[in-house]
Chains A and B, each alone.
Chain A
Amino acid sequence: MSLYALQKLLFTLNRDPALQAAFKADPAPVLDGYRLTDEERGAMTAHDVGLLYVLGVNGQILMHFAAFCGFAWPDYLEAMREGVRRHGPVRAGVYALTSSLDEKVAGL
């Protein structure tokens, strides 16, 4: 678990257009710059927002990455639910899921 490094990468990526361009072109060299586990690295490469959520990425960081990957807001919410369905409960941090998996709290 290297959640700090994962969140540092996402925090940096969220605000750095040059890094975003590099990540889009080829994520591997960008990911090499951070001490990530294979699971974290795989989630980044696959744009697996659901797994990133389960790994404990703070939602205020994750939602920007989801938008960068082209997720509309309802799709972002559903990706997080799907992550919990596939990988189990959120493992770290304070952005846990407390509603039920089929619940659309605000209709989204």
Chain B
Amino acid sequence: MSLVFAGVTSHGPGITARPETADPVVRDAFFAALGSMRQQLEAAKPDALVVIAAEHFANFFMNNMPAFAMGMADVYEGPIEDEAWLKIKRRDDIPGDADLSKRLITEIMQTVDVAFAEEWRFDHGISVPLHFLTPDYGLKIIPVNINCQGPPLTPLHRAWAFGEALRRACDKVPERIAVIATGGISHWPATPDSGKINEAWDRDFLDRWSRNDRAALTAYTDAETYRDGGQGGFEIRTFIALAACAGGQGDVQFYGPIPQFAVGCTVGVMDIVEP
């Protein structure tokens, strides 16, 4: 049928691994916003959920790093992280839809060279958002990865092109498709800087995202992003692809820096506008 829901959320592993360390007021407001996002997602009655993620070497490594990859399997596994650490139970029965993936990928390939993968192990980049949005794992998931981790990284204007291609593909299938992007915004994960957050940079980015300002969203150089948003800031690619996919104005329903989660925690939903 078409795209029926578009949203963005953070995915820092601290969100599930160490919730007790965060300021309860900000944390509970963030969790409430995620709960509200879940309700909005369910109200859209999707048949499948595409998750545009930025993985951390769960499946892809510098021996063969795709700029874009998409899952094409009936079942997925995850999370790869230690269950006791991430506090999300590992499953090997997360439902996918290989046939739907194949149709989406076939259409995307008309304009963007996306790699496909008939096996995929989720890391916290997908498992943390799903833990809040589809905790009973009843919704079919289609994972997407944009290389935000091993330079040379996917250029921002190509992330935009991928989002447009994904939208065209969604509009050509009979199923109702929801899409979420996860990542960012500024953060310095897995370093001694973990917990540093550039709130001003985050808010400026979210302003560009909310306006769906293509030129402003794709204007960052990687050097600027690295300086102002850290190596975790490279994950803005997922939010940019989502904006291109949805096409409308974004509603930032929650933003709050939580150093113990290493990110400015974000929940946003974007209007879907006809291309």
Contacts and interface: CB of A to CB of B under 8 A. Distances in A.
B30 to A, nearest CB: 16
Interface residues of A, number: 33
Interface residues of B, number: 28
Contact of A95 (B61, B81, B82, B231): B231
A53 B194 CA distance: 14
Given A60-B57, A62-B190, A106-B259, A94 B226 contact: yes
A35 B18 CA distance: 37
Contacts of A55: none
A101 B142 CA distance: 42
Contacts of A73: 18
Contact of B62 (A4, A14, A64, A105): A4
B256 interface: no
A91 to B, nearest CB: 14
Contact of A99 (B56, B82, B196, B260): B196
Contacts of B262: 106
Given A99-B196, A106-B260, A106-B262, A59 B191 contact: yes
A52 to B, nearest CB: 12
B203 to A, nearest CB: 20
B193 A8 contact: no
B149 interface: yes
A15 B119 CA distance: 15
B80 interface: yes
A98 B196 contact: yes
Contacts of A58: 57, 149-150, 190
B193 A105 contact: yes
A63 B231 contact: no
19 contacts: A4-B62, A7-B61, A59-B190, A60-B57, A64-B81, A67-B85, A73-B18, A80-B191, A81-B192, A94-B151, A96-B191, A98-B193, A98-B196, A99-B192, A99-B196, A103-B192, A105-B193, A105-B195, A106-B195
Interface of B: 18, 56-57, 61-63, 80-82, 85, 149-151, 188-196, 226, 230-231, 259-260, 262
